[in-house]
């Protein structure tokens, strides 16, 4: 009996994670020790002066969203699951609330400090776990995309539900994992973007693949400078 319960619980968790993937899961499928090659950011931005600022902004943000305030930015994978849970139904009010919370978070830092603090090298001052840092940074770049460039498209009727339900392409993930060379991951990231674009244009219709591609381009563009998404007409 215990064994059966254990396995069904595991299956439910796996399903939740899979069906809530939004646009790209490169952070999740990259070995943690290689994330620094994927997400290197511009050192010229400067580093975050104080973790206290991140803790405060994270706490205020979670309180606004009604999350458990015991979670810190270091619980980034749980936070990202919680955000996706809020968004998964395509509830427009929840979507707008998440975007307002993103504005609140950003506003606590201001532009310069936001970029100085919410990048992988700054966060690595305060943790030894690359996956924790990368997940937090990537969550914010997803939200940045969704709440700005992608907003109008994503709130169009049916689009969000389709993108969430069909967000994962095992074929694109497998091709990335089999071909990526972390000495120079950018060409494989570009191929992953092209793969997801074609896939999502196919299952959700044009131009949704383009939007998924842009989300990925913004997520990894600080390191991979020449990533491109081709605009396609509807
Ligand atoms: C949050 O992260 C801390 C370590 O930073 C860990 O001890 C705690 O169990 C995590 N909480 C949850 C709910 O994942
Ligand atoms: C939509 O989201 C809002 C904000 O989180 C929530 O209050 C409301 O109950 C949700 N509506 C539905 C139908 O789930
Ligand atoms: C997912 O894609 C399929 C086409 O492959 C489509 O029939 C289905 O409606 C999509 N899911 C949602 C929730 O839109
Ligand atoms: C990875 O790329 C580097 C630099 O381009 C190259 O020297 C190395 O041989 C590549 N590794 C593999 C396994 O292809």
Q: How far apart are CA 200 and CA 172, in angstroms?
A: 11
pLDDT at 90: 83
Q: What are the structure tokens assigned to 225, written together? A: 């400078």
How far apart are the CA of 177 and the centre of ligand 4, in A?
15
Low-confidence ranges of the chain (pLDDT < 50): 1-20
Q: What are the structure tokens assigned to 172, written together? A: 């694109």
Q: Please return the burial class of 206, using the count of CB atoms within 10 Å of its CB with bins 0-12, 13-18 and 19+.
A: middle
Measured by CA distance, the residue closest to atom 5 of ligand 3 is 203
How far apart are the CA of 140 and the centre of ligand 3, in A?
27
**8 A C-beta contact, residue 106 and residue 169:** no
Q: How far apart are CA 61 and CA 64, in angstroms?
A: 5
pLDDT at 41: 61
The alpha-helical segments, DSSP class H, found in 66-207 are: 76-87, 92-109, 111-117, 120-123, 130-147, 151-154, 159-165, 170-179, 186-204
Ligand 4 test: best mutation among 179, 183, 185, 186, most atoms within 8 Å of CB?
A: 183
Predicted TM-score (pTM) of the model is: 0.89
How far apart are the CA of 94 and the centre of ligand 2, in A?
6
Q: Please return the burial class of 19, using the count of CB atoms within 10 Å of its CB with bins 0-12, 13-18 and 19+.
A: middle
**8 A C-beta contact, residue 201 and residue 172:** no
CA angle 172, 175, 178 (to 5 degrees): 150
* Ligand number, closest to the Cα atom of 180: 4
How far apart are the CA of 15 and the centre of ligand 4, in A?
35
Q: In the structure, which protein residues have their CB atom closer than 6 angstroms to any atom of ligand 3?
A: 161-162, 165-166, 203
In the chain, the N- to C-terminal Cα span, in Å, equals: 52
């Amino acid at each position: 009996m215990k064994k059966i319960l254990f396995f069904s619980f595991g299956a439910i968790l796996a399903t939740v994670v899979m069906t809530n993937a939004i646009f790209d899961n490169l952070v999740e499928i990259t070995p943690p020790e290689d994330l620094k090659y994927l997400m290197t950011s511009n050192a010229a931005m400067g580093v975050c002066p104080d973790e206290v600022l991140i803790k405060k902004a994270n706490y205020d943000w979670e309180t606004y969203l009604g999350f458990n305030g015991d979670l810190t930015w270091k619980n980034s994978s749980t936070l990202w699951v919680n955000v996706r849970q809020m968004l998964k139904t395509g509830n427009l009010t929840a979507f707008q609330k998440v975007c307002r919370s993103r504005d609140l978070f950003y506003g606590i830092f201001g532009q310069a400090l936001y970029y100085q603090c919410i990048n992988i090298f700054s966060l690595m001052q305060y943790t030894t776990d690359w996956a924790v840092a990368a997940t937090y940074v990537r969550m914010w770049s997803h939200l940045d995309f969704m709440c700005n460039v992608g907003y109008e498209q994503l709130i169009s009727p049916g689009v969000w539900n389709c993108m969430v339900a069909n967000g994962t392409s095992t074929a694109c993930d497998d091709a990335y994992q089999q071909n990526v060379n972390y000495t120079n991951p950018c060409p494989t990231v570009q191929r992953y973007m092209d793969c997801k674009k074609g896939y999502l244009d196919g299952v959700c219709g044009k131009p949704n693949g383009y939007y998924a591609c842009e989300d990925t381009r913004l997520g990894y563009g600080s390191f991979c400078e020449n990533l491109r998404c081709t605009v396609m007409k509807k």
